[in-house]
Chain A
């Protein structure tokens, strides 16, 4: 009996050790890596930015300013200003939990040995923060993307966020200005945007700086103009002198690489969105050569969009400029730089300079969109402004058309109120929304999140 008890105990001890050994070493996933290279992180962050700039936010922005009109299902709801706290969870998440957090990792992992990766990471960080703050106003910046260290990041005032954007851009420019030889790893094809060309990044960063200086036109008309002009001059010096320098999102021929305007309007959600009558009316009045690129012909053979208040299923579809599977999508363009120049020069009492910049911008846009130089007739009518004829409305109306589909156009409209738009009379609210509501995931899970539900509320730079 005793022997059996002792041997049972001994056996139990052996089995204890055996059980532990049996399970040891099976806790690591064979499916996913726990560390990756800077190149993989950069590709990820750029594609996430393409999705941000080219996806739902760009469709929504274009519907707010009536470049497009949602005529069916969820797009019609957006068109009717039915935008609530659940509408843009995806986009917010991509900005922070796919973009910014990985850029931070890219910056940290690249270290001082790889200033180019670090520099690109800083510029992209500024671009993501820009999108976030333009739509949502005060957003987390300084305490953001710290994981368990801070699960409730503070919402920084928009003024601070925009200062941070400028700082990140400056840092990026400094890092990318270092000699190529100070890099162990160099970005290449993993950089879809500029294939690792530091000079191109620097030039584009200066334009983005100008964009965010100019963003403060309502808060500081004079100072914003001066700073923007300085930045634009630096961009010019850095080589941002033609469409060739445009920063584009790139797309491919496979279905997971499609331009999201194509994926949405042609493949998966055909019929949801048509072009907007306010934009097509403007363009028709100009005999605009970009019309066949921006619009498909409507059922009557014309280029005519739908009125926002009366969904018209026969109106022109979104045209091949946006809706082509591999069409590049502009993020920062020479035309935009010139429009900013025109606007800030006008504000700085330089109407001649403003007119010239405006004319250059229009010509650059037509060339970029159509692939051909604008006709003399069009140039004469639309790109021959003078110091006497130039107005803010003309600049902004042209910019509105040139930046078709780009989020930036929505910010421009909010700053300048041009073009003059009539709110959708069937909308849930009587004004065109000026912001997005705080997303539900922040309201629920971040104790520091504010609660902005009123779409009419204006972000700081819009006040």
Chain B
């Protein structure tokens, strides 16, 4: 096939050419960058800064097409002419904005019957974020971004219009220049690890972090199935289409862009910790007066993690230490980018190199990224264009231990008593965190000292990645064109975790441990697209795309663990006396045939219909191919009726179905080597005493798997008023996911735990509103405002026969994240207080609320609505911009706060320590023989210890609901000031542009949340759940100073 088209291309390459020249204007000014193209070919050029062009055309060419944004397109005959000047009229209707849709197809925005939003590369860079996904936060409607903390390289998750699947990938497909890339977040975990790896470990990256934001021209967000349906079984969660910067064929030009920035970041928010009471117990008998256990004493670290001891200063004479303040440092990020563009008439090339060096607020953490990229294209003949991109990336760094992890930075740090200095050089050890004998200094023997962790237990990762594609386009005949694209994404992620001898995190503590983890990923992607165009009449124009797509994805996770190290300081597997390894592989293959038909009537009615039939290896043998249709229509009604002040008006409607593939290898029931643990220890696992053992994996295989289907309906309007000074883009959508694959829980007494089956359904309904305006526009001054608002309502409709709730991911013993019929996806579900019919707490004889016998919904981690508001002011060469990002609602289980209350570390537990509490509620007065209780107002006094340990904490008979907090916020996401130097004609021969800027990120944060920055996620982007905070690493705020120059 490739060979054949190649032959066609070669046969046309020898045709004779002639030159035409001319000038393009809009009647007054020259039009810069207008495209001049020979009709029916890819031969073309763009006009220069004076509107002039020079184009070599084949002798037999008869017509050229001249296009420019915001102006009406013209077709002009060139027969017998060598100079053709064009005067393009302003086009109020056809704003001509070109957007990139599925398969990288560029289309005019007005012809689309579905919602799609573009975020420009500049907008992305304003965020100051190094992770392109995080850079989207607050910038687009219907785009929900969830960061996981402020450590360098930490993952960010993105959801378009909410969750669409229970077990599959809820994050959109990321496509770079037409080729999907991997954006997984993977925790390093041994095959015998029995728990949810996302609750612990380090802050890993989502692999999208490898893409250098400086290379991004634009990100087009295809929010719903209508926009993404052409991607078939990977489109259920939408898609983000990234277009990278390229050269522009057709003009002779050479340019060098250089940018450099320095970001200075600091922790922006930490839980308030008390500086009054020392480590100790005694809290159990603490009285309201000072006569209890508070008195002179002797402080000996260890024995307890509690901070219900004596007054640190007044009783013990120890100056309290704020370990958290001492621990965190200032992080620096240096980001340098240089790119060279060289364009000629028939070829273009762009080479870029970017380097990021970032250090974190946690000592010794860092993230580094080097990206080298070359993209070029070349016109071989008037009918053939070839091109390609190669992007080589090296990224990685030293990560921070996180979460429910004895080495967790925040766990050891936040729980540390003020009576104990974690880093104390006067303790006599070689370091402030070691004893004189070199062992670790600890205030409580199972928590690793965070200084020890940061210095002795590094987790390093190193990713080598190659992304690339080659393509060619042939236009053999005027009404047909053919494109073939072959792309790949391959990387090796090599990780090493060291736990020095004497660390407490590994199961075999304190013997030391080394983990070597290699993750390999290989994706091949092939597209063949054939487009036919047919204009039936002057008014009815159609195009038909036929395509074939083949995709193969392979990944391997190799894990080797060495425990019980012999020689201290030698971190090689050879030095371990206890070795274990595990391996996991998966290959997923899909093949698809698809079509996309578009028709337009005059300049105002547009219709699109598409379909894709896709085969995938993840389905069972019963049926392995399925069809995904879509259709959309849009009407530019402002062409038909004239409405005062309205410059453009469009309504659109779309209906589509996209799929989500099952997880690989779920069609059979397999045996595995199990790990037997009760959650408190590492447990027993195989090989066990030199003998292997296998049992059923707990999941019943299902040979009849079908794809999950996300069927979406949306309608919306694009309205523009006052000569485009005010834009309104409104969308309503309703998307129903059906056939959802459910790891249907099975009662263990049936012999299994899970049955993977198509049983669920869920609906997302919502609105997206984008408002843009230019309230003030003067010669030297302009003020632009843009606002986006999103609200999504999700409801789980069905989970399978008889199933009311399903745990989405293993949580903590008192709470988890569930899908529950009738409630939103991912609700926090856990232990609750018992209540009277009136909703009052029922207070037990001990003065504490009684625990309800069954768990229930305690919170919803997703916001009621969210949005962003950007204001930009331009005065001459000065630009000032700021973005407010709002999230209203969205609960977080603040497990950190609950635990810090229990152990008496929070500020509030100290402020109210020397008094009694009466918890508002109804106490039990009497119980009738039939169990009916009568209640009266509670008047039982309890000590602060019991109040904070159980009612506000997570000790004793506590309810997880007490730690649910509102995670909503208003934040100043970014604020920036930049100055563009203008150069005179002489200087501009050397330097074309220079921009200096200063940007602040997260400088203001308003929230009721008592923990770290509520933009946090314990489980990270690799997980389908959110809203958990259990000693999560803190977020950051930062200042960035930048310089940008073009030569």
Q: Give me the interface of A with B, judged by CB distance under 8 Å.
A: 8, 12, 15-16, 18-20, 22-36, 40-48, 50-52, 55-56, 72-74, 76-77, 80, 82, 84-87, 89-98, 100-102, 104-105, 139-140, 144-148, 150-153, 189-190, 192, 250-252, 254-258, 260, 263-264, 267-272, 313, 428, 439-447, 449, 453
CB distance from B903 to the nearest CB of A (A): 10
| Contact call A23/B615, Cβ cutoff below 8 A | yes
| Contact call A84/B445, Cβ cutoff below 8 A | no
Q: From B701, which residue of chain A is reached at the shortest CB distance? A: A34
Instruction: Determine which residue in A16, A31, A73, A449 has the highest number of CB atoms from chain B within 10 A of its CB, and name it.
Output: A31
| Contact call B593/A445, Cβ cutoff below 8 A | no
| Contact call B956/A441, Cβ cutoff below 8 A | no
Listed A/B pairs (16) with beta-carbon separation below 8 Å: A12-B546, A19-B550, A19-B625, A29-B670, A31-B665, A76-B955, A85-B854, A90-B678, A96-B748, A96-B749, A98-B674, A100-B751, A190-B691, A255-B508, A444-B805, A447-B802
Q: How far is the CA of A87 from the CA of B851 in the complex (A)?
A: 14
Q: How far is the CA of A446 from the CA of B506 in the complex (A)?
A: 37
* B926 interface hit (Cβ, 8 Å): no
Q: A28-B668, A445-B745 are in contact. Are A43 and B691 (CB under 8 A)?
A: yes
Instruction: Determine which residue in A27, A72, A85 has the highest number of CB atoms from chain B within 10 A of its CB, and name it.
Output: A27
CB distance from A85 to the nearest CB of B (A): 7
| Contact call A139/B749, Cβ cutoff below 8 A | yes
* B200 interface hit (Cβ, 8 Å): no
The A-contacting residues of B in range 178-194, CB under 8 angstroms, are 192
* B413 interface hit (Cβ, 8 Å): no
Q: A34-B669, A36-B694, A51-B677 are in contact. Are A445 and B956 (CB under 8 A)?
A: no
Instruction: Determine which residue in A42, A56, A139 has the highest number of CB atoms from chain B within 10 A of its CB, and name it.
Output: A56
Q: Cβ of A86: which chain B residues have Cβ within 8 Å of it?
A: 813-814, 831, 855
Q: How far is the CA of A56 from the CA of B684 in the complex (A)?
A: 13
Q: A27-B665, A31-B585, A453-B853 are in contact. Are A428 and B957 (CB under 8 A)?
A: yes
| Contact call B749/A22, Cβ cutoff below 8 A | no
Instruction: Count how many chain B residues have C-beta atoms less than 8 Å from C-beta atoms of the other chain.
Output: 101
* B588 interface hit (Cβ, 8 Å): yes
Q: A16-B593, A313-B281 are in contact. Are A263 and B670 (CB under 8 A)?
A: no
The proximity string for B residues 48-65 relative to A, scoring 1 for CB distances below 8 Å and 0 otherwise, is 000000000000000000
Q: From A56, which residue of chain B is reached at the shortest CB distance? A: B678
Q: How far is the CA of A40 from the CA of B746 in the complex (A)?
A: 24
| Contact call A441/B747, Cβ cutoff below 8 A | yes
Q: A51-B677, A260-B678, A449-B749 are in contact. List 15 more A-B contacts (CB 8 A).
A: A12-B546, A18-B548, A23-B617, A34-B669, A35-B671, A36-B694, A42-B693, A44-B674, A96-B751, A192-B689, A254-B578, A255-B506, A269-B680, A271-B446, A313-B281
The proximity string for B residues 658-676 relative to A, scoring 1 for CB distances below 8 Å and 0 otherwise, is 0000001101111111111
| Contact call B956/A77, Cβ cutoff below 8 A | yes
* B952 interface hit (Cβ, 8 Å): no
Q: How far is the CA of A91 from the CA of B698 in the complex (A)?
A: 14
Q: A23-B617, A29-B668, A192-B691 are in contact. Are A47 and B751 (CB under 8 A)?
A: no
| Contact call A8/B546, Cβ cutoff below 8 A | yes
Instruction: Determine which residue in B508, B617, B750 has the highest number of CB atoms from chain A within 10 A of its CB, and name it.
Output: B750
Q: From A430, which residue of chain B is reached at the shortest CB distance? A: B845
| Contact call A97/B698, Cβ cutoff below 8 A | yes
Q: Cβ of B696: which chain A residues have Cβ within 8 Å of it?
A: 97-98, 101-102, 105
Q: A74-B813, A82-B957 are in contact. Are A267 and B507 (CB under 8 A)?
A: yes
CB distance from B948 to the nearest CB of A (A): 15
Q: A27-B617, A28-B668, A444-B745 are in contact. Are A147 and B700 (CB under 8 A)?
A: yes
Q: From A299, which residue of chain B is reached at the shortest CB distance? A: B303
Q: Give me the interface of B with A, judged by CB distance under 8 Å.
A: 192, 281, 303-305, 445-446, 506-509, 511, 530, 546, 548, 550, 563-564, 578, 580, 583-593, 613-621, 624-625, 664-665, 667-686, 688-698, 700, 745-753, 755, 802-805, 813-814, 831, 844, 851, 853-855, 955-957
| Contact call A23/B616, Cβ cutoff below 8 A | yes
| Contact call A256/B678, Cβ cutoff below 8 A | no
| Contact call B831/A84, Cβ cutoff below 8 A | yes
| Contact call A97/B617, Cβ cutoff below 8 A | no
| Contact call A23/B591, Cβ cutoff below 8 A | yes
Q: Cβ of A85: which chain B residues have Cβ within 8 Å of it?
A: 853-855
Instruction: Determine which residue in B303, B615, B678 has the highest number of CB atoms from chain A within 10 A of its CB, and name it.
Output: B678
| Contact call A30/B585, Cβ cutoff below 8 A | yes
| Contact call B682/A146, Cβ cutoff below 8 A | no
| Contact call A15/B814, Cβ cutoff below 8 A | no
CB < 8 Å neighbour of B684 from A16, A50, A440, A449: A50
Q: How far is the CA of A22 from the CA of B511 in the complex (A)?
A: 49
| Contact call A27/B563, Cβ cutoff below 8 A | no
| Contact call A264/B680, Cβ cutoff below 8 A | yes
| Contact call A27/B618, Cβ cutoff below 8 A | yes
| Contact call A87/B813, Cβ cutoff below 8 A | yes
CB < 8 Å neighbour of B680 from A19, A36, A56, A453: A56
| Contact call B676/A41, Cβ cutoff below 8 A | no
Q: From A266, which residue of chain B is reached at the shortest CB distance? A: B509
Q: How far is the CA of A383 from the CA of B747 in the complex (A)?
A: 48
Q: Cβ of B507: which chain A residues have Cβ within 8 Å of it?
A: 255-256, 263, 267-268
Q: A19-B615, A27-B619, A77-B957 are in contact. Are A145 and B751 (CB under 8 A)?
A: yes
Q: A91-B678, A97-B753 are in contact. Are A33 and B684 (CB under 8 A)?
A: no
CB < 8 Å neighbour of B681 from A8, A45, A145, A263: A263
Q: How far is the CA of A445 from the CA of B550 in the complex (A)?
A: 40
| Contact call A441/B748, Cβ cutoff below 8 A | yes
Q: From A190, which residue of chain B is reached at the shortest CB distance? A: B691
Q: How far is the CA of A320 from the CA of B708 in the complex (A)?
A: 54
Q: From A439, which residue of chain B is reached at the shortest CB distance? A: B748
Q: Cβ of A260: which chain B residues have Cβ within 8 Å of it?
A: 678, 681, 683-684
Q: Cβ of A145: which chain B residues have Cβ within 8 Å of it?
A: 749-751
Q: Cβ of B674: which chain A residues have Cβ within 8 Å of it?
A: 44, 48, 98
CB distance from B410 to the nearest CB of A (A): 18
